[in-house]
Structures are given as C-alpha cells and as structure tokens.
Chain A
Amino acid sequence: GEDVEQSLFLSVREGDSSVINCTYTDSSSTYLYWYKQEPGAGLQLLTYIFSNMDMKQDQRLTVLLNKKDKHLSLRIADTQTGDSAIYFCAESIRGSQGNLIFGKGTKLSVKP
C-alpha cells in the first residue's frame, strides 16, 4: 500500500543544520518531493529527486535517497528563522496521474 511517514516536529537553533526525515512504502515511486508550507499559504515546491538518484543538492538544500530502506531526507544548511514552516514529503506513483501521496508534515521551528 501507499504510505508516507514523517516525524511531526523538529526544533533547531538558527545557523545549525536541519535534517527532516521521511519513509515511504511504495516501490513504484517515480519522483519524491519536498514541499514547504507557511501559515495560511499553499505548498511551495522546494526540491525533488528522481527515484533512481541517490542525492541532489540545490543551494542550502540536500536531498538524500536510500532506495533500499525507502528513506528520504532533506538537509537544510545554515537554517534561518525564515525556514520555520511545515515541510511535506510526497511521492508520485507510476501510473497514478496527478496523485501525490503526502506525509503528515514536519513542523520545523528555528530558534534565534
């Protein structure tokens, strides 16, 4: 079945690195995504990784994918107070057009 799991909360100090983890169950994932949601807003696409890649780096963001363990992580370097938000991991399943399976989201709090 399809399921995406994330821890619900993460608290870090400004300037530290944040690592948000996600596990998924469906082996027919094609792409895996990270979205950010600020209060009262929609979802902002942060980055994504194709399922046959191991790593992707995009400025302060690093995505690591362990296909064997079905584990995805998002590392935010030099975390800022503006990074405080809810981060969602999502997977797309081959053949299931338009349907992203989302985790419940990880609320990141950045303390000054």
Chain B
Amino acid sequence: KAGVTQTPRYLIKTRGQQVTLSCSPISGHRSVSWYQQTPGQGLQFLFEYFSETQRNKGNFPGRFSGRQFSNSRSEMNVSTLELGDSALYLCASSFGAHEETQYFGPGTRLLVL
C-alpha cells in the first residue's frame, strides 16, 4: 500500500506570495492532519480534516487554511507569506473515526525569502 505522499517536496517563495501544498493520504484513510516543523518551535499542529470537514484547528493565524476533497486528498494554503513561515510542512493520515495512529508523509520544505 502506498504511503502518504506530499507535493511539492521543496518550494522557494518570496515574502507576500501565497503557496498551496498538497497531500494524498494512504488509501482508505479519511483523516488528514497538517503540522508545521521548525527548529525553534518544533512540531505544531495546524488543522485536521475528516470527510471534507475541518474538525480541529491549531493556534495559527488565518493566513493558514486548508481543505479536503471527496477523495480525502487535502491541500493547505498559506497566503501573504512571511519569513517565519519557512518550515517543513508535514501531512499525516489516519482512518479518522477516533484518535487513531497517524502516518506521516515526507513533508514539503518551504523556504520564504
């Protein structure tokens, strides 16, 4: 069974631009969570989607948004990029009915110049 895939793997943007990252979960998984990983703050939860609905949200500004499609694929968008948004963005999938084990993708490394 294929694992979680994320595209693109690397991205360079400039301040003020916007970016969209994509995540395809493991087949059969309906929950997708997004995390931001930085050296200073570590791993921080952004949001979680299940059956196209956002069920949970972390403490990030409204510039960070996401959505999930009917095939469980998910995208996250960051608008008006800031230097501090440079990070590794990780997506994780699970079956999703309860607090199940999450399986992570390889991440998208975003550099904001």
A: residues with CB less than 8 A from B are: 30-31, 33, 35, 41-45, 48, 88, 90, 92-94, 96-105
Q: Which of B11-19, B43-51, B78-86 participates in binding chain A?
A: B43-51
Which residues of B approach A to under 8 Å, CB–CB?
Answer: 4, 6, 31-33, 35, 42-43, 45, 47-50, 55-56, 58, 90, 92, 94, 96, 98-99, 101-107
Query: Across the two chains, which residue of chain A brings its CB closest to B57?
Result: A99
Query: Distance in Å from the Cβ of B91 to the closest Cβ of chain A?
Result: 9
Q: Are B42 and A104 in contact (CB under 8 A)?
A: yes
**Contact present for B101 and A99 (CB under 8 Å):** no
Please, how many angstroms separate the alpha-carbon atoms of A42 and B34 in the complex?
12
Query: Judging by beta carbons under 8 Å apart, are B48 and A97 in contact?
Result: yes
Is there contact, CB below 8 Å, between B55 and A100?
no
Once A30-B99, A48-B101, A94-B99 are accepted as A-B contacts, the answer to whether A102 and B55 lie under 8 Å apart by CB is no
- Beta-carbon contact of B103 and A99 below 8 Å: no
Main secondary structure of the interface of A (DSSP, over half): strand
With A42-B90, A43-B90 known as contacts, the answer to whether A98 contacts B102 (CB < 8 A) is yes
Chain B residues positioned under 8 Å from A100 (CB to CB): 33, 35, 43, 45, 92, 102
**Cβ B48 vs Cβ A98 within 8 A:** yes
A44 to B45, CA, bound (A): 17
Contact partner of B56 among A33, A42, A96, CB < 8 A? A96
**CB atoms of A97 and B99 under 8 A apart:** yes
Is there an interface contact between A45 and B33, defined as CB atoms closer than 8 Å? no
